[in-house]
Chains A and B, each alone.
Chain A
Amino acid sequence: MKKKIPLTGNAAFAEAMRQINPDVVAAYPITPQTEIMMTFAEFVADGLVDTELVTAESEHSAMSACVGASAAGARVMTATSAQGLALMHEVVYIASGLRLPIVMGVVNRALSAPINIHCDHADTMAERDSGWIQIYSETAQEVYDHTILAIRLAEREDVRLPVMVCQDGFITSHGVEPVEILDDEVVKKFIGEFKPWNPLLDTDNPKTYGALDLFDYYFEHKRQQFEAMKHVPKAYEEVAEELSKITGRKYPKVEGFYMDDAEYVIVVMSSTAGTTKHVVKELRAQGKKVGLLKIRLYRPFPKEEISRLLEGKKAVAVLDRAYSVGAEAPLFCEIKSALYDVKAKPVLASYIYGLGGRDTPPSLIRSVYEDLMNGNISKEEKYLGVRE
């Protein structure tokens, strides 16, 4: 029996965590993620889960404890945002390098300086090369579904990699939406028992994690990690398909909206995809051939699907809620690279939007489509909604 209840994105993540009942959760508060840990701590206090909650003294230690717990043989989860993720940075690489299937909720927030607590994607973009799978969520429903999906994906024998489930700070994390929740038993059955491999706690068969790996082996071990990431697209599809059967919802790596005959397309991730869908419907009502490409799985980057969907379009605008100071914005850069191999290349435009939580109303999205339709496209990136 599925039931629909009003939840924030944070509460949706916490609810999924309750149903997953991880062995260990180690975390440290940071806005706008705090609510996840407060909600989960209540679950622990009320005995609704039997998780060991490690209330670490910092995010660096939280991720370190996650690494220790996961290597020990536990199912492990955590959550963070912005500065917290940045403080974890060193250990984020260790988690993936040691092939530990930790699942982390990231509530996207701008990085300092200047200090800001609102949404952009600079924090997770800074970790895009860290070897974690990254899934971006448009709605609280997606946060919930992705979290359950992430557990299965991370723990697949052919994957064994950590996953970040991202959502937009204060937009998704604090907005209340109706979320359809699966039965506890259904979730339990879907994720199954965690079967650790090479756990430290198998002390009869001692294990070594994190040995010194010089030029004679490091490269080969990294090569294996890259290979594991290559298994993700297929593994992802299989897990997503299985979850779809239960929920009735689809989780393609990239989601096309009115793409079939679209000539003018916006590529965007997370909550802004929702705003864009609204604008697409309005413009479609006026007979405009517009479409949206929403990226759900950002790491590994679904290059093939993207180039297939964008080939032959007239003009494509890539909206980045992040930046790379001194170079092209990250998503734009990768879309451009994905299109290198296609024959009929669309004209490309780069837009940076929403930094530090700057509001991105439908009117701004509409202005992007208008730029595309009017050929108002420059080589330089544009800043959406900034005061120049």
Chain B
Amino acid sequence: MPLTVRDLLKREEKFVYGHRLCPGCGAALTARLTMLAINEPVVVSCATGCLEVSTTIYPYTAWRVSWIHSAFENAAATISGVEAAYRALKKKGKISKDVKFVAFGGDGGTYDIGLQSLSGALERGHDFLYICYNNEGYMNTGAQRSGGTPMCADTTTAPVGKVIPGKTQWRKDLTAIVAGHHIPYVAQTTLHNPLDLVNKVRKAIETPGPAFINVLAPCVRFWRVDPADMIKLCKLAVDTCFWPVFEIINDEWKLSYKPKEKKPIEEFLKIQGRFRHLFVPEKRHLIDEIQKHVDREWNFVLKMCGETV
């Protein structure tokens, strides 16, 4: 039975107030909804990044669960050690209860530096959920480009200059890379609808073996939007098909949401400061290229999901 808002209201929050993430932070909402969805005893591992530095500033913590941060690139490896310890101790009869395991990493810690450690942990088949809170750049170090940053975004290491229009490469398709591991549960979502994330987390947690969810989680500072517009932005991400939301259960792709009418990519780009430089007549061709790329990625997802293009 899918969880409803009413169910969530009855649950105890495990990711709580008092952290120092920004108002409108997508990572904060991702963490909060994830923790609401998991009612079982749980151990969380966190990669270095905004979520980690802002939620456990010693001697405080916003996590009411066991939590470990080791380094930037090893959230998946660290949790695989925790999970291996759990299996060992359970086998030896030293632990009897059921415990769940979750790792959080930003797109930097997941698309880039931590990809190897994630891939290794998935391949080894540890029973854990990895959540990539994807704000499409390195926020903790000051809004640099990552392998998940979209083309033409203005970042501090791929800045918009007189000759270069921001990032010059397309983002990589991490979700498809993860799907290539053929693990039992993979999903992609954003914060357009809190229940979509919550129920995907639920399914992931209930699935034995590794699970992965890629959550587009805007950073209002980097994307340069009004914090009040964060959810609107996520809705535009799905309605323009910039961020398809879907599930892959045992290699079966299934679309979670199909906009009635696909909106043009401009609508998503134009409310963000990081794409402002594109909105001059001489850069029109870049928006057209982005549209073409979005269409291509969307069609790929439709095809994988058995939908008509």
B6 within 8 A of A: no
The answer to whether A69 and B82 touch across the interface, beta carbons within 8 angstroms, is: yes
Could you give, for residues 57-77 of chain A, a 1 whenever the CB lies within 8 Å of some chain B CB and a 0 otherwise? 110111011111111111010
In angstroms, Cα B3 to Cα A76, docked, is 39
Chain B interface residue count: which class?
35 or more
Could you give, for residues 13-43 of chain B, a 1 whenever the CB lies within 8 Å of some chain A CB and a 0 otherwise? 0000000000000000000000000000111
The answer to whether A72 and B56 touch across the interface, beta carbons within 8 angstroms, is: no
Q: A94 — which chain B residues lie within 8 A by C-beta?
A: 70-71
Least Cβ distance of B38 to chain A in Å?
Answer: 11
The answer to whether A74 and B89 touch across the interface, beta carbons within 8 angstroms, is: yes
Q: A200 — which chain B residues lie within 8 A by C-beta?
A: 43, 66-68, 82
The answer to whether B81 and A212 touch across the interface, beta carbons within 8 angstroms, is: no
The answer to whether A74 and B88 touch across the interface, beta carbons within 8 angstroms, is: yes
Q: Chain B: which residue is nearest A23 at the CB level?
A: B88
Least Cβ distance of A162 to chain B in Å?
Answer: 14
Q: Chain B: which residue is nearest A205 at the CB level?
A: B66
The answer to whether A71 and B82 touch across the interface, beta carbons within 8 angstroms, is: yes
| Residue from the list A68, A211, A217 in contact with B80, Cβ < 8 A | A68
In angstroms, Cα B63 to Cα A69, docked, is 20
Tell me the B52-106 residues at the A interface (CB within 8 Å): 52-53, 56-59, 61, 63-71, 73-74, 76-89, 91-92, 95, 97, 99
Chain A interface residue count: which class?
35 or more
A50 within 8 A of B: yes
Given that A68-B81, A69-B81 are contacting pairs, would A201 and B42 also be in contact in the complex, using a CB cutoff of 8 Å? no
Stretch from B116-124, B131-139, B156-164, B264-272 at the A interface = B116-124
The answer to whether A56 and B77 touch across the interface, beta carbons within 8 angstroms, is: yes
A55 within 8 A of B: yes
A91 within 8 A of B: yes
The answer to whether B124 and A214 touch across the interface, beta carbons within 8 angstroms, is: no
A213 within 8 A of B: yes
In angstroms, Cα B95 to Cα A58, docked, is 29
| Residue from the list A72, A90, A217 in contact with B71, Cβ < 8 A | A90
B45 within 8 A of A: yes
The answer to whether B43 and A52 touch across the interface, beta carbons within 8 angstroms, is: no
The answer to whether A209 and B67 touch across the interface, beta carbons within 8 angstroms, is: yes
In angstroms, Cα B233 to Cα A290, docked, is 79
Least Cβ distance of B120 to chain A in Å?
Answer: 3
The answer to whether A212 and B56 touch across the interface, beta carbons within 8 angstroms, is: yes
The answer to whether A60 and B117 touch across the interface, beta carbons within 8 angstroms, is: yes
The answer to whether B58 and A212 touch across the interface, beta carbons within 8 angstroms, is: yes
- By CB atoms of chain B within 10 A, which of A50, A51, A91 has the most? A91
The answer to whether B70 and A210 touch across the interface, beta carbons within 8 angstroms, is: yes
In angstroms, Cα B78 to Cα A71, docked, is 10
Could you give, for residues 122-152 of chain B, a 1 whenever the CB lies within 8 Å of some chain A CB and a 0 otherwise? 0110000000000000000000000000000
The answer to whether A54 and B117 touch across the interface, beta carbons within 8 angstroms, is: no
Given that A50-B92, A67-B78, A210-B68 are contacting pairs, would A61 and B117 also be in contact in the complex, using a CB cutoff of 8 Å? yes
The answer to whether B88 and A203 touch across the interface, beta carbons within 8 angstroms, is: no
Given that A57-B116, A201-B43 are contacting pairs, would A211 and B61 also be in contact in the complex, using a CB cutoff of 8 Å? yes
Q: Chain A: which residue is nearest B52 at the CB level?
A: A212
In angstroms, Cα B94 to Cα A52, docked, is 14
In angstroms, Cα B68 to Cα A91, docked, is 13
Q: Chain A: which residue is nearest B75 at the CB level?
A: A64
Q: A211 — which chain B residues lie within 8 A by C-beta?
A: 56-59, 61, 69
A295 within 8 A of B: no
In angstroms, Cα B81 to Cα A73, docked, is 10
In angstroms, Cα B80 to Cα A55, docked, is 11
The answer to whether A210 and B69 touch across the interface, beta carbons within 8 angstroms, is: yes
The answer to whether B92 and A23 touch across the interface, beta carbons within 8 angstroms, is: yes
A26 within 8 A of B: yes
Q: A207 — which chain B residues lie within 8 A by C-beta?
A: 66-67
- By CB atoms of chain A within 10 A, which of B42, B88, B91 has the most? B88
A42 within 8 A of B: no
In angstroms, Cα B71 to Cα A94, docked, is 8
Tell me the A1-33 residues at the B interface (CB within 8 Å): 23-24, 26
| Residue from the list B56, B81, B84 in contact with A208, Cβ < 8 A | B56
Q: A52 — which chain B residues lie within 8 A by C-beta?
A: 84-85, 87-88, 91
Listed by A's residue number, 9 A-B pairs whose Cβ atoms lie within 8 Å are: A26-B84, A52-B85, A201-B99, A203-B42, A203-B65, A207-B67, A208-B63, A213-B58, A217-B59
A-B pairs, 6 with minimum CB distance: A68-B81, A57-B120, A65-B81, A72-B85, A74-B85, A61-B77
Beyond contacts A50-B88, A206-B66: 8 other A-B pairs, Cβ-Cβ < 8 A, are A23-B92, A54-B84, A57-B116, A64-B77, A64-B81, A74-B89, A207-B67, A209-B70
**A binding-site residues for B, Cβ under 8 Å:** 23-24, 26, 50-52, 54-58, 60-62, 64-74, 76, 90-91, 94, 98, 200-204, 206-214, 217
